[in-house]
C-alpha cells in the first residue's frame, strides 16, 4: 500500500480554510441538483420536498423515530417488512432534532442529511488531501457530488451520515488517532449494516500496524508503522487496542439486540433482512438479473450498461490497488463494493449502496487534479448538469427503492 508517513491532523480552523473550495463547490453542485428537482417536480405538480423527506426509506426512518421499533408490513406474498432492518442512529438524530426544535421528524431527517453531506464532503476532502494533496481532494469531493445518484445525498436517508462517519474514521486511522477512529466506527456501525466495512478498515490498519511494529522492533529500528504505511511516531498500544475494541460495538450491539428482540439469537437480523428478500449470495442473483436483460434487444442495452458499470467499478478498485492506496481505504472500499454488488435483492439500489465507497473515486480525482484547471472545471461542470437533470428525473420517476 502507499508508503505514507502518518501526519497529525491540521488544526480545525486551518483545515476548514483548506477545505473551503471543496465545500463551496460541493454546496454549489448540491444546490443545482435541488433547483433542478424543485423545477422538475413543480412542472409535474409534485412536491420536491416530499420526494426528499417522505418517500421510500425516509418513511421507515420517520416511523422508527416516531413509534420506535416493532412496526412491520405483511405483504400478500407472505414477506414481512420490519423496521428492525433500519439501523437506529438516523432515527435517533431525527428524534433529537424534533425534541429540541419545532421541526418534524421528517424535517429533522432532511436537516441531518444536509449537515451530514457537508461533513461527508469535508471528510472525503481530508482523506484525499492527506493521500494525494489539495487539488485531488477538491476533485474527489466534486466527483462524489456529481455521481448520477448524488441527489440521495440531499435526501432524508442514511447514506450521507454514514459516509461522513466512514470518511472521518478513515482520516483518523490515517493520522494515527485510534480512539477517535474506533468511536466514529462505532457510530457508523449504528447507521447502516455496511458499517462492517468501517470496522474492517480499522482492524486491518491496526493489525498491519502491530505486525510492522513487531518486524521493526525485531530488526532493532524502534519505530511504529501506522495505518499500513511507513514508520511513524510511536503510539501507546493501549490506544490502538481500545480503538479496535470500540469499532465493532455499534454493529454488533444492534445486531445482537435485534436477535434478542426477535428471539432468533445472534442471526436474527439476517432473518429480518430475509423478510425483505435481501441477503448475501455472492452476486448470483444479480448475475441472473443482468443475464435476463439480454432476453430482448431493448433490455439488452440495459444489460450491457450494467456489465460496463460493474466492470468500471472493479477497474477503479484495481487502479487504486496499483496506485498503492493506503490499506484502510482499500479494505473499506472493497468491503462496501462486495456487499453492494453481492446483495441478493434491490438491484436498482446498487448505485446508491455504492455511493459511500468514495475511495473508488480517488484514481479519477488524481487524474483530474493533473489536468489544467479549466479542463477539470469543464468536465465537472458538465457532470454536475447531467447529475442534476438525472436526479430530478429519477426521483420523479421510479426513484430509489
Residue 197 has pLDDT above 50, yes or no: yes
pTM: 0.92
Residue 250 vs residue 15, higher pLDDT: 250
Residue 3 has pLDDT above 50, yes or no: no
- CA–CA dist 191, 184 (Å, integer): 11
User: Residue 25 corresponds to which cell in the numbers above?
Assistant: 463547490
Predicted pLDDT at 7: 57
Residue 138 vs residue 9, higher pLDDT: 138
Residue 331 vs residue 343, higher pLDDT: 331
List the single range of 73-87, 125-139, 223-237 with lowest mean pLDDT: 223-237
Predicted pLDDT at 345: 74
Angle between helices 89-100 and 159-174 (to 10 degrees): 110
Residue 365 has pLDDT above 60, yes or no: yes
List the single range of 53-67, 200-214, 296-310, 351-365 with lowest mean pLDDT: 296-310
Question: What residue segments make up the domains of the chain, in order of their start?
Answer: 14-395
Residue 388 has pLDDT above 90, yes or no: yes
Query: Would you place residue 225 in the very low, low, confident or very high pLDDT band (cuts 50, 70, 90)?
Result: very low
Query: Would you place residue 6 in the very low, low, confident or very high pLDDT band (cuts 50, 70, 90)?
Result: low
Residue 10 has pLDDT above 70, yes or no: no
- CA–CA dist 51, 151 (Å, integer): 11
Residue 229 has pLDDT above 50, yes or no: no
Q: Smallest Cα–Cα separation from 91: which of 120, 67, 72, 73?
A: 67
**pLDDT tens-digit series, residues 289-300:** 889 888 887 888
Predicted pLDDT at 36: 98
Residue 219 has pLDDT above 70, yes or no: yes
Query: Would you place residue 217 in the very low, low, confident or very high pLDDT band (cuts 50, 70, 90)?
Result: confident
19: which residues sit within 8 A by CB, 6+ positions away? 122, 125, 126, 129, 137
- CA–CA dist 215, 97 (Å, integer): 49
Amino acid at each position: 500500500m502507499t508508503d505514507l508517513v502518518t501526519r497529525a491532523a491540521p488544526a480545525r480552523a486551518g483545515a476548514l480554510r483548506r477545505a473551503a473550495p471543496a465545500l463551496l463547490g460541493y454546496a454549489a453542485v448540491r444546490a443545482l441538483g435541488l433547483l433542478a428537482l424543485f423545477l422538475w417536480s413543480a412542472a409535474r405538480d409534485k412536491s420536491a420536498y416530499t420526494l426528499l423527506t417522505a418517500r421510500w426509506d425516509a418513511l421507515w426512518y420517520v416511523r422508527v423515530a416516531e413509534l420506535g421499533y416493532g412496526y412491520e408490513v405483511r405483504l400478500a406474498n407472505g414477506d414481512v417488512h420490519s423496521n428492525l432492518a433500519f439501523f437506529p442512529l438516523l432515527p435517533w438524530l431525527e428524534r433529537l432534532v424534533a425534541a429540541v426544535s419545532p421541526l418534524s421528524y421528517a424535517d429533522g431527517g432532511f436537516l441531518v442529511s444536509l449537515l451530514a453531506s457537508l461533513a461527508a464532503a469535508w471528510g472525503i476532502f481530508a482523506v484525499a488531501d492527506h493521500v494525494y494533496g489539495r487539488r485531488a481532494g477538491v476533485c474527489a469531493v466534486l466527483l462524489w457530488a456529481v455521481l448520477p445518484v448524488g441527489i440521495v445525498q440531499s435526501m432524508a436517508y442514511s447514506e450521507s451520515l454514514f459516509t461522513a462517519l466512514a470518511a472521518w474514521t478513515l482520516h483518523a486511522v490515517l493520522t494515527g488517532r485510534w480512539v477517535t477512529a474506533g468511536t466514529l466506527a462505532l457510530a457508523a456501525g449504528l447507521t447502516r449494516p455496511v458499517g462492517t466495512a468501517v470496522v474492517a478498515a480499522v482492524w486491518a490498519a491496526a493489525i498491519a500496524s502491530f505486525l510492522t511494529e513487531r518486524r521493526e522492533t525485531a530488526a532493532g529500528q524502534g519505530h511504529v508503522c501506522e495505518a499500513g504505511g511507513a514508520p511513524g511516531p510511536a503510539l501507546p498500544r493501549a490506544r490502538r487496542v481500545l480503538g479496535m475494541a470500540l469499532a465493532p460495538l455499534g454493529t454488533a450491539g444492534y445486531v445482537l439486540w435485534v436477535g434478542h428482540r426477535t428471539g432468533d439469537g445472534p442471526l436474527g437480523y439476517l432473518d429480518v433482512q430475509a423478510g425483505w428478500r435481501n441477503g448475501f449470495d455472492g452476486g448470483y442473483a444479480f448475475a441472473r438479473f443482468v443475464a435476463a436483460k439480454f432476453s430482448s434487444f431493448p433490455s439488452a442495452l440495459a444489460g450491457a450498461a450494467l456489465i460496463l458499470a460493474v466492470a468500471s467499478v472493479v477497474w477503479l478498485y484495481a487502479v487504486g490497488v496499483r496506485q498503492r492506496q493506503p490499506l484502510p481505504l482499500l479494505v473499506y472500499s472493497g468491503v462496501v463494493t462486495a456487499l453492494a454488488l453481492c446483495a441478493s435483492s434491490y438491484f436498482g439500489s446498487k448505485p446508491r449502496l455504492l455511493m459511500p465507497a468514495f475511495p473508488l473515486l480517488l484514481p479519477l480525482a488524481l487524474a483530474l487534479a493533473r489536468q489544467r484547471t479549466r479542463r477539470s472545471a469543464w468536465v465537472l461542470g458538465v457532470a454536475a448538469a447531467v447529475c442534476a437533470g438525472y436526479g430530478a428525473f429519477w426521483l420523479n420517476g421510479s426513484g430509489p427503492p
